[in-house]
Amino acid sequence: MAATTVPFRERFQESISQRFNWQYFLQDNVTGSWFLTVWVVILLLATLGLTIRQMGVFPGATIIILLAWFIGILLTAGEGLHIYHSRVGRWLKTNMFNSISNTLLSLFLLLVLYALLYGIWQWAVVNATFSQYLTEPQDRPQDGATWGVIVGAWDLLMYGRFPREQLYRVWAVVAFFVVMAIVSFAANKSGLWERINPLRKVLLALWVVSPVIVYILLAGVPADGDFINPRTLIIGEILVLGTFALVAWQRVIKFSWLSLIIWAFAWPAAYIVWRAIGRTGAFRPINVSLWGGLLLTLIIASAVIILSFPMGMVLALGRRSQIRGIPWWLIWPVAIIVTIWGFTTSTPEILASADNTAQQVIAFWPLLILLLAYILNTTFKGNVIAAASTAFIEFIRGVPLITLLFMAIIMAPFFLGEGATLENVWAVILGYALFSAAYMAELIRGGLQAIPRGQYDAGDAIGLNTFQKMRFIILPQAITIVIPGIVGQFIGSYKSSSLVAIVGLFELLGITRVIVSNPQWLGLRLELYVFVGVVYFVGSFIMSWYSRRMEARLSIGQN
């Protein structure tokens, strides 16, 4: 008897019926609940209406999108039914076409995205002009961008009022960092960083002193060198040698007489070099109030990031410190004596001059001393370091940044000597760094709390002191854990630097107001804000990209 041959169509249908069930498919994607059914119907009607509208506006592009969408459905179906396997089909099945609603939503978003990108392309490129001489509004394109404002105001956007004859200093800073980045990347990639130890030390030293190099180039050195005087030299030498003695005594670094000699002569050498640079007159002083534009934005953001990280680390360690506190039998007598002194010296005078009830209540301020003593004794067990760190962090986090910036500008002269002045740029950087340090401290404290107790016990078991445990065991793990949060704080500091425009500094966003007020560029705010937004996005993206790269190197944060 001849073998019965089953037609291919029947075999294909039988194979499909074994792998696919329409009833289960509809129940999972349409009829599973009344809400799902309504959502799919609404999405179907919205997608159909948008497709018809886009077909009338962009027929060619819409047909291409529909073909690509249909091919994606076929690849997804082939992957799901195990008929045809491909990486594209697997990705589409996982991310775009894993349900009917997601399939419709993918088409809807593709159509919307094309319309959006087409409109941006038409406005920013096709109908735009790059001429900087279209000063009259009627001469500018009505449906396109006038990028001439960026070209014409380029110097203001980049440097602010920085002296144009001294712009080579700015480019020297750019060249320095570009060369340093290339050399460091090449040394790290090729392994020279580990094989040639002096190269690593030289590069590290250059990165450490880079803020000083930037200051010399952008702010200059006075000929008399009064920034560093003999008194400052002595204080600096004491701090340098004291720091070296502390870390060597606690065995955080390896002690050697060569290192001691280098540290001992580092500050005097810096003093001599500073005076020599000033006397040459090669880098004459430049008023920092002339800094502006992107230059000032990068200076403020970089300074805040560099200062806030170590300050935040110190605050986090201080808040979690467990040193032996002041005993209660010493806190309360001192608090009572100070309270009595306040009542006898201050309260009568305030009451005598009080004009209202509020001032009369303020006269009894010494009672706050007893409240502080109670909090110090009960909450912090007399630990002054933990109490001061906690009070600073909570106070700074409870005050808006704008308030701190104004306070820094107004109150900075009170902390300086008579006749001394402080430029608003430095006051703003200091206030902003303190603000960012409080948030950085909480991030690092979260990392410290994530370290299991066994790590501390392991450090104690091998005979490490407190500094060594923190330096070699605890802090590397804690900082590694909170790298995403730290970089997020850095990005926030970079973007929030635009707030300094409120206190009168003309950084990148503040300088746009000056440009727009020019009669030549009236009404061109959108082009300027788009440019500023792109600059902030690029800076934030670079930091985010480097954060992800660092996480990958440390094998954390990977799904």
Instruction: Provide the domain count of the chain.
Output: 4
For residue 558, being part of any structural domain is answered with yes
Tokens 């209540």 belong to residue: 361
Arithmetic mean of pLDDT, 107-114: 93
Q: Give the pLDDT band (50/70/90) at residue 555.
A: low
For residue 515, being part of any structural domain is answered with yes
Tokens 């004794």 belong to residue: 377
C-alpha span between 250 and 464 (Å, rounded) = 9
Tokens 């060249």 belong to residue: 175
Q: For 220-265, what is each residue's pLDDT tens digit?
A: 888 765 555 677 778 878 888 888 888 888 788 777 777 778 878 8
Q: For 60-71, what is each residue's pLDDT tens digit?
A: 999 999 999 999
Q: For 453-492, what is each residue's pLDDT tens digit?
A: 999 999 889 988 888 899 889 999 999 999 999 999 999 9
C-alpha span between 317 and 409 (Å, rounded) = 29
Tokens of 357: 């009830």
Tokens of 481: 């854990």
Q: Helix, strand or coil for residue 507?
A: strand
Find out whether 348 and 371 touch, Cβ atoms under 8 Å: no
Q: What's residue 13's pLDDT?
A: 57
Arithmetic mean of pLDDT, 353-358: 86
For residue 275, being part of any structural domain is answered with yes
Q: Do 464 and 553 lie in a common domain?
A: yes
Q: Do 409 and 527 lie in a common domain?
A: yes
Q: What's residue 439's pLDDT?
A: 96
Q: Give the pLDDT band (50/70/90) at residue 2.
A: very low
Lowest mean pLDDT among 117-121, 209-213, 342-346, 420-424: 420-424
Domain boundaries, position 202: 164-279
Find out whether 184 and 203 touch, Cβ atoms under 8 Å: yes
Number of C-beta neighbours around residue 149 at 10 A: 26
Q: Which of 257, 279, 301 is where one domain is finished?
A: 279
Q: Do 178 and 155 lie in a common domain?
A: no
Handedness of CA 405, 406, 407, 408 (dihedral sign): positive
What average pLDDT does the chain have? Answer: 85
Arithmetic mean of pLDDT, 386-412: 91
Tokens of 345: 């010296």
For residue 413, being part of any structural domain is answered with yes
For residue 43, being part of any structural domain is answered with yes
Q: Helix, strand or coil for residue 274?
A: helix
DSSP character string of 507-556: BHHHHHHHHHTSGGGTT-HHHHHHHHHHHHHHHHHHHHHHHHHHHHHTT-
Three-point CA angle 75, 33, 71, nearest 5°: 10
Q: What's residue 192's pLDDT?
A: 62
For residue 3, being part of any structural domain is answered with no
**Which pTM value belongs to this model?**
0.85
